[in-house]
């Protein structure tokens, strides 16, 4: 029984480490390229240029953006039934933050 428990714990640690190694980098990358769509639409950037600009504009803002993304995820989870309200609100908020970054006001608190 002790062997089973010890093995189970090791497997769980391995699984959690694997999830951590894939999820955390994925969240980081998402936060750094979050504005790609607005750059393509508003500034008529080609795809790779949009990714580069988003990466550049979000530099040293990862923690602020992580807080913002986490807040929006919580709002969406709570508002599953209010999908019609939360999705446009999320898009509007994303655009608002994008505009702040575009005009160089990154230093302000979001």
Q: What tens digit of pLDDT does each residue of 31-68 get?
A: 899 898 888 889 988 888 889 999 999 999 999 999 99
Q: Which domain holds residue 44?
A: 33-102
pLDDT value of position 5: 73
Tell me if 77 is assigned to some domain: yes
d(CA 99, CA 107): 13
Q: Does 27 map to a domain?
A: no
Contact at 8 Å (CB) between 53 and 98?
no
User: Would you say residue 28 lies in a domain?
Assistant: no
Is there a domain that residue 73 lies in? yes
Is 20 domain-assigned? no
Which residues lie below 8 Å from residue 61, measured CB to CB, with a gap of 6+? 101, 106
Tell me whether residue 40 is in a domain: yes
Angle subtended at Cα 55 by Cα 49 and Cα 56, rounded to the nearest 5 degrees? 90
More confident residue, 107 or 73: 73
Q: What's the rounded Cα separation, in Å, for the pair 7 and 27?
A: 30
Task: Domain count for the chain, please give it.
Answer: 1
Within a domain: 59: yes
Q: Is residue 91 part of a domain?
A: yes
**pLDDT digit string, tens, across residues 71-103:** 988 877 777 666 777 778 888 888 898 888 888
Q: Which two tokens stand for residue 32?
A: 């750094």
User: What tokens does 64 get?
Assistant: 């602020």
Distance of CA 52 to the CA centre of its chain: 16
């Amino acid at each position: 029984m002790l062997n089973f428990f010890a093995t189970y714990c090791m497997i769980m640690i391995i699984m959690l480490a694997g999830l951590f190694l894939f999820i955390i980098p994925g969240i980081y990358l998402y936060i750094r390229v979050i504005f790609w769509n607005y750059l393509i639409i508003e500034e008529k950037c080609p795809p790779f240029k949009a990714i580069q600009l988003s990466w550049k504009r979000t530099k040293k803002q990862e923690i602020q953006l992580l807080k913002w993304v986490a807040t929006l995820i919580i709002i969406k989870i709570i508002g599953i039934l209010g999908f019609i309200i939360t999705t446009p609100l999320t898009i509007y908020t994303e655009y608002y933050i994008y505009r702040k970054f575009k005009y160089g006001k990154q230093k302000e608190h979001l």
